Structure 1
């Protein structure tokens, strides 16, 4: 038997020594996973001086040890949190990040109160963006497009129960029948340049490279292909929103303008970093550059 409070504090110290970025939060979340409690419930149990039983304590020690070896928290719990959703995640799929929530918000603000909107999430991965759109837009029809054979199972598991239409194919080559039908296209494509190795161990060693590296000297080869397809998918006046690295803000804006998007605009995340760029499909079809 071990007191909850003692176990959690020891775990936070272990994770801190291992360089885990948020040791206290991770210690809490792993303990919640073991006990099945919410963080609020866990705090109440700690105040009452309650204990972990032997099996729970052994499981907790194992999880903390694996987290200290920088295995992502989401891989240990099988869950990722995004906006109002709890998603299934694990090895082989990019874990959703809080900064992407602000990218979704740009699209939601654009759609506003439009009923029956048609939206697509390109390079969907876990399906976080598509799932958020499906749950936060009224009477919407949403597609999620993912190429990876490893990730598509997560896409389907997170999206299909919400009525999202999942396509297992290249996001740059979608059926012509979908062209000029979408009100909103959002993408978090791979965009890391080949020489920009991620500093975070969890990202560098555990996120799939297919979801990270955008190819080309600037990391924007795949984003350019995806953005060109987004322009073909949008109805006149529809919006495209693309996530990118902070250092790519200017080049992403130039890329969208070159492709033919209008009203190209940069957007910051909640930390003030340049996180996404949006553009509108031109109202005149002869101005669209194929």
Structure 2
């Protein structure tokens, strides 16, 4: 069997994905090729020729991606910070936008020894585990109310612990319950949350509509119901000088900051844009 140029396979994959309406066709084509070859994306130029079975395997995954199956479901992982976590059916796929929220949170922790961190609505556990990886001295708590998500989070937590990261403390609970983590009231250095926030009825891409759990995406009250509870939790959990960061819908740039400003104990409220310049997450400090 004659070997074939990998470059041509990637070009064909890009064309197919572009026609299918995939938002990042070239990047997805390269990530699929890297996944099949078992190499990092940046090393693809070092693989000029591939065997026909490799081209066929790339083509099969591209066909699935063209049907708008999430790329992360095809590769089995998603990245956040310096780690990857396993994802698939039944759990929300972490997005690149959340990197900025994570970066802000890690800056809050600079200069603090043995900080206490809480990740509300943890889903796959990505945020909690990324913090635990970056700050091995941190005590990281994570909670979710969905059993499927918690199963993924437990798997990811076990995998990261086996890799040598500090284990996180994973719990089943609901952020709408005002007793969640009550024993930590006033003791937490950092609260992070990527909650359900898309207003019900909002059109979403096929990758979201068909694969992300609806309860992890949509929220009532114009997308603000869960966020209101997260703000209340942060106000009681944080110690003086502690910080909170909450992701929100790009339509919430003017709606979410006032929810934090209404809490007298929260100061320095600021809203931050995502990688595309859209309003994406709000931060505050405990007075």
User: What's the TM-score once normalised by structure 2's chain length?
Assistant: 0.90
> Are positions 1:244 and 2:248 aligned together?
yes
Q: Residue 130 of structure 1 corresponds to which residue in structure 2?
A: 128
Q: Give 2:83's aligned residue.
A: 85
- Asked if structure 2 preserves the Cα contact closer than 8 Å seen for 1:115 and 1:138, the reply is no
TM-superposed CA distance for 1:138, in Å, is 4.9
Measured in 1, the distance between the counterparts of 2:136 and 2:181 equals: 25
SS in 1 for 2:227: helix
Q: What are the superposed Cα offsets for residues 149-200 of structure 1, whole Å, 9 maximum, x if unpaired?
A: 11112212223423111112212331321222211101011111113222x2
CA distance in 2, matches of 1:68, 1:172: 38
CA shift at 1:42, angstroms?
2.1
- Matched-pair contact (CA < 8 Å) for 1:34–1:59: yes
Secondary structure of 2:272's aligned partner: strand
Question: What corresponds to 2:189 in structure 1?
Answer: 183
Aligned residue pairs total 276
Give me the TM-score of the superposition, normalised by structure 1.
Answer: 0.90
Partner of 1:38: 40
After TM superposition, the structure 1 = structure 2 runs for residues 249-260 of structure 1, keeping only pairs within 5 Å, are 249-260=253-264
Structure 1, unpaired ranges of 5+: 283-290
Q: Deviations over 1:37-74 (max 9, x none)?
A: 2223321111xxx22242x3332222111100000000
Question: 1:263/1:5 Cα in 2 relative to 1: closer, same or farther (>3 Å)?
Answer: closer
Measured against aligned partners, the alpha-carbon deviations of 1:264-284 in whole angstroms (never above 9, x if no partner) come to 1212233322211112223xx
Residue of structure 2 equivalent to 1:13: 15
Aligned to 1:95, what secondary structure does the other structure show? coil
**Runs of 4+ with >6 A deviation:** none
Deviations 1:84-106 (A, max 9, x none): 11111111111111111101111
Any conservation in 1 of the 2:250–2:278 contact (CA below 8 Å)? yes
Q: Equivalent residue for 1:269?
A: 274
